Structure 1
Amino acid sequence: MSHSPHLPHPRVPVSRPLLDLSQILFGCFLAGTSFNVLLRPNEIASGGIVGLSLIFSEVFGIEPAFLQWGFNFLILVIAAKFLGRAFVFRSLAGLIALPAAVYLTRFWPPMTGDLLLGSLAGGAGVGVGMGLVFRANGSVGGFSALALLFHRRLGLPVDRGLILLDGLVLLSAALVYRNAELILAAAICVAIVGRTARGLLNGMSHSRMALIVSELSPEIESRILTEIPLGVTKLHGQGGYSGEEREVLMVVARAPEVMRLKRLVKEVDPNAFMTVCDAHEVLGYGFNSFAVTPRAERPVGLAPAPTAK
C-alpha cells in the first residue's frame, strides 16, 4: 500500500486501566439514569436484562436494581465456565455499577411522560452509556454473555441470539402490559439503544471505501497520493466477460474527502468505473487504532446491534 508522507501517523494503543474504569462507571451511570428518568416512568421495556427487570418489577414489585444484580450474577456464573475468567473480570465492574446507578437514582423525577420522546431519549441515553462501557473493553454481562454462550455451545450466531433474547423480552412485555403503544415504544427503544451503542463503538464518523477501475489507473493513483492525499492499495483484477487484466485501486476516505476523490477520477478518466460504499469501522494507518478486545470475545460490535443487557 502506497502512502503519502502527509498522512497522519497511526496511534499506538496504550494501557489505561484507570481511564477505562472511569469510562465504564460513567457509562453505567448514564445508562442507569436514563432508565430511571425516561424509561421506567413510562414503563418502556428496553430489551435485555434492563427491560426484563422492569417487567419482573411490574409483576412482583421487586426493585429493578436488585433484579439486575441477581440476573446478571446468575448468568455470569453459568457462562463463566465457557467464556473464561477474562470475560468474567471484564464484566464485574459493569455488572456492579449499572444496577448501583439504577438504585441510587431510583427517586429522580421523570423527565417526560411522552412515550415517543421517552423511548427515543431513553434509548439514546442507554445506548451511549453502553457504548462507553464497550469502548472501554468492558461488559455488563447479561444477554451479551448468554448470546456468546449460545454461539459457543450451539453454534447460533451472536446477533441472532441477541435478537431472539430481546424478542422474548418484548413478548413478555406484551403479555404483562397488554398495551400496543408500550410495545411499540419498547421496540423503538431497543432499536435506538443498539444503533447508538454500535455507532459509538465503531465511530460516528463513517468512512467510505472506493474501488476504481481505469485504463489510466497510474495517473489516478499518482494524483490521489499527491493532491488529496490518501493511501492507495493496488489490487489485481480480471474482467469476467473480456478476460482482460486490470489494476483495481482501493481507496479508503473520510466523508469530506469523497467528493474530491470523485472529481479527481472524473478529471483523469470520465470513463472510469468507480464504486463507493460505506466503511463503518476503519482500523489502521491514519484511522482508528485496533481494539484490544479479541473479536471472538467482544460482547458488542455485533449485527444488527448490541443492546443494554
Structure 2
Amino acid sequence: MDKRLKIGGLALRAACRRELATFLNVTVGTLLICLCIAALIEPYQFASTGVTGVGLITNYLWGISPVWVLTGGNALLLAWGWKALSPRFALWTLYNTLLTTLALPLFEMFRYPLISNTILAALFGGVVGGLGMGILFREGASSGGMDVAAAVAKKRWGVDVGSASFFVNVGILVLSFVAVDFERVLMGAFSLYVESVVIDWVIKSFDRRTQVMVISAKTGEITRFIMDSLERTATLVAAKGAYRRAPMEMIMVILTRRQAVELKRFVRSIDPGAFLILSDVSEVVGEGFKKWEAS
C-alpha cells in the first residue's frame, strides 16, 4: 500500500512539473502572438486568416480592437465544441483566450517603431508569430479559432477539415480586400508563409536528437562513459561482422547534439579504430525524453 502511494505521489509530482512547464510555455507563446498582432500586423494593416483575420478586418474598417472578435469568436467555438474536445486541449485553449483578452489591449497601448520596409515588417511578423504558435503547438495547446473548429469537426464527424480550413482562410484573405489594398493582403500572405516555416522549425528543432551507434572493442568503457558522464542509458545490440563473421556488441544511444560531440571525442581518445554512425532524429518519445502524454 505504502509503495503504491509513493509511486502515485511521484507520478503526481511529475505531472505537476509537466503542467507547470506547459503553463510557462503557453504564457510565453500567447504573449509573443499578442506582441506580433499589436506591433507587427496592426500598424501595417496586414491581412491574416482565421478568427484573427476577421478581427483585423473589423479593426481596419471601424477601429475596433481585434481582441473583441478574438475573445467572442473563441468563446463561441469553445462553447460549441467543449464536450467534443479533450479536457486538456480545451482548458489550455481557454487559458490562451483569457490571456489574449488581457494582454492584447495592453500591448496595443504602446507605440512601436515603424519599419519602413513592409517586406521586412512582414518577415519579422511571421517570425515572431511563428515562434509563439510553434511553442503552443509543442505543448498541445492552440490559439483557438480554426484549430478548435477543426478538432471538433474531426471528433464529431470524423472529417479531416484541412482542405476546408484552407479554403475558409483563403476566403478570409479575399474578404480582407474590403479593408486593405492588394499589397497589404500579399504581405499578409507572405507573413503567414514565414510563420508556417517557423512553426515547423520550432516543433522539430526542440525535439531533435542525435542517434549514435558505436562498434568498438571497448564497449564496456564506452557504456560506462555514457551512463556515468553523460547520465544516459544505452542499448547493447548483438551484431556480427559480415567479412569475418565475428560476433560483437553494438551500442545504440540517443543523445543531445552536445552529448554526441562529447561521446565522439571520448571514443576517439580510447579507440581510434572504432566505427561510429551519427544520424539526426526528429523526435524521441519515452523515458528521459518527451513524455507519451505530450506526443
Q: TM-score by structure 1 length?
A: 0.66
Structure 2 residue aligned with 1:301: none
Structure 1 residue aligned with 2:281: 278
Structure with bigger RCO (C-alpha 8 Å, 6+ apart): 1
Structure 2 residue aligned with 1:165: 165
Q: Within the alignment, does 1:147 sit opposite 2:150 as a pair? A: yes
Larger Rg computed on CA atoms = 2
RMSD: 4.2
Alignment of 1:92-241 (within 5 A): 92-113=94-115, 114-130=117-133, 138-152=141-155, 153-154=157-158, 156=160, 161=162, 165=165, 168-170=168-170, 172-173=172-173, 176=177, 177-179=181-183, 180-192=186-198, 194-195=199-200, 198=203, 203=206, 206-212=208-214, 214=215, 216=216, 219-226=218-225, 229=230, 230-235=232-237
Q: Distance in 2 between matches of 1:243 and 1:151?
A: 53
Q: 1:74 to 1:244 in 2, by over 3 A?
A: farther
Q: Distance in 1 between matches of 2:81 and 2:100?
A: 19
Q: Distance in 1 between matches of 2:290 and 2:196?
A: 29
Which one has a larger percent helix, Structure 1 or Structure 2? 2
Structure 1: 5+ residue stretches without partners: 1-11, 296-309
Q: Counterpart of 1:72 in structure 2: which amino acid? A: N
2:26 and 2:136 in contact (8 A); partners too: yes
Q: TM-score by structure 2 length?
A: 0.68
Q: Distance in 2 between matches of 1:238 and 1:197?
A: 40
Structure 2: 5+ residue stretches without partners: 1-12
**Count, aligned residues:** 270
Q: Within the alignment, does 1:268 sit opposite 2:271 as a pair? A: yes
Alpha-carbon offset, residue 255 of structure 1: 1.5
Q: Distance in 1 between matches of 2:218 and 2:129?
A: 49
Q: Counterpart of 1:78 in structure 2: which amino acid? A: W
Alpha-carbon offset, residue 128 of structure 1: 4.1
1:33 and 1:105 in contact (8 A); partners too: yes
Q: 1:69 to 1:62 in 2, by over 3 A?
A: same
Q: Counterpart of 2:144 in structure 1: which amino acid? A: G
Give CA-to-partner distance per residue, 1:60-89, whole Å, 9 cap, x none: 765311111122122222322321444333
Q: Which moved more, 1:124-133 or 1:27-36?
A: 124-133
Q: Distance in 2 between matches of 1:18 and 1:265?
A: 38
